[in-house]
Structure 1
Amino acid sequence: MLRDAVNNDVEIVQNAHNCLVYSDPLSAHGLTWRQLVRWWRADRMPSADERTAADALYRHLYRSLDSLPEQTVLHTYCARYAEPAGFELPALIPQVYLHYDPYTRKSGAHSGSLYRQRMDFLLLPPDRSRIVIEVDGAHHYGTKNKPDTKGRSTYTASPELYSEMVAEDRRLRLADYEIYRFGGWELTRPNGSQIISDFFTELLARHKKPTP
């Protein structure tokens, strides 16, 4: 669990060996892939060139994901880094812990504590918005039943779990986060990668660097 992950004032309170802590100051215009690679390179691979370090960082982030839909999101988005000026795109950060956000505390409207601790993905684009992307498997809205005679697992829809999920979304939106949800099922379809690609094309166009 981390505290104040967005503002780079980070305190690791458990599972430190599994956490990457970005220690460079965040710019006024978000966090790009190049900035993240530069930090990784200085911290882990000082003798590597940028492309080699970028590949190693991508592989490290990919290994943090254990579901095919989440892997599809990361792989599809990160393919954009290979395009011209792709390293200047916002970095897509998986498995981000946002337990405490001082932006919220400073606003005076809320305490600063965020109910949900881990986000599937976070983007910090150049317009200074904060975008959370969630990939929902059946366990987000259903309770698991006992396996059937063939060992297959099924889920029963749970109004309680669904209510908890949407309540958390409301809290995050009130804390100025922009949230987008995908059903895990849609990302396992043959057109799953295209769905993700089209989504990010529209999202990045909407969150460009503000014109002075």
Structure 2
Amino acid sequence: MTSHKDVFNADGMLQTIADDIWGQRCLAYHVQPHLSAETQASLAQVQETIAGCWPVPLFMAPPEALHVTLYPFVQVKHRFDKEAYWSSIFEPCRALVEGICRGHPPLELRFSRLKVTDTAIIAIADDESGLIDEMRGAIVEVIPPPPGQRPIFYDLIHTTLARYRTPDMIPDEIVAAVEAIPVSVTAPVERLKIIRETVFPCQGLDEIHSFPLA
């Protein structure tokens, strides 16, 4: 995610980038925490507040599609033989996530602030348990990236609450107002899961494997 501070123009306006694949069929594989319906409903309330502040219509996923991608084994926009690659890494991925989850107690993700970027509006969370950082590091170390790609190094845990329908110039004061919206959502996580995403963003998916935290 790009910080909005890096994409303001000289007039103090944020140039947003319209999402060109919203609602389209896709293929991707991710590991995610399972979010409860209560957590998704709380995040949806934040979406409503964002929509009331933003000057133009936004793409907003329904509550049941709100999610946190801990690591994308196969990304939506990459172009290669995804099924062949996934078949080659599925068992190592399953074993890695299972091993990290084994014996680890349930965790909490604490969403505490919003961040506006040129591509999306996201809610940022903290994981005090350290499990997510451990898992991301292990994936980068153990799982070979797709052909021609490099491993992904994350510095945030987030859920995407809105994407842009159209490219627009948004004043700094609007961005500041959105980022000032109070957020306090605690998400209990009792299991992780590997999913196959079929409609972007996670509006169509299949759960492939579940990993309890206990």
Same fold (TM over 0.5): no
Task: Compare the two structures and name the one with the higher strand fraction.
Answer: 2
TM value normalised by structure 2: 0.26
> Which one scores higher on RCO, CA 8 angstroms, separation ≥ 6?
2
User: How does the TM-score come out when normalised to structure 1?
Assistant: 0.27
Would you tell me which structure has more helix in proportion to its own residues? 1
